[in-house]
Amino acid sequence: MFMNANSENQAKGNKLWLERIKWISVVGLFLLAVGSKYYLHITHMSILITLLLIIATCVMLFLTTKGKALLLFANEAQNEIGKVVWPTCQESIQTTFIILAVTIVMSIIIWGLDRMLVRILSFITEL
């Protein structure tokens, strides 16, 4: 039992170190990609090197635990977007006009209340 718990802790420690190494390589590849853009002269080869470094950074990022969770989230979000029922053009136009009309009516009501309050207050202050 003690040996089993010890081996589990060692396995967790190895996974943690592996995860740290992945993140260090992600940061390193990213810095190399940024550095290659600034320190290499603009040529087709420098663009290719920068592009390859960015691809390597993304691949390494998606190999991490957080990267895998990000991919899973993006996949689930794409599935949810597929379930959305988008309004037709006519529905969008009608909704826009309704919102515009309600906004205008509410503006007139608030303006009228404001004018009434100003007159009431000016009447009270003149007394």
Model pTM greater than 0.85?
no
pLDDT in tens, 17-72: 888 888 888 899 888 888 877 777 777 777 888 888 889 998 998 888 888 999 99
In degrees rounded to 5, what are phi and psi of residue 84? -70, 135
Residue 32: CB partners within 8 Å, gap ≥ 6? 53
pLDDT in tens, 72-100: 999 999 999 999 998 999 999 999 999 99
Q: Which of 17, 26, 18 is nearest to 55 (CA)?
A: 26
pLDDT in tens, 59-73: 998 888 888 999 999
Residues 69, 89: Cα–Cα separation, whole Å: 36
| CA-to-CA dists, residue 47 to 4, 30, 36, 56, 70, angstroms | 51, 15, 9, 14, 27
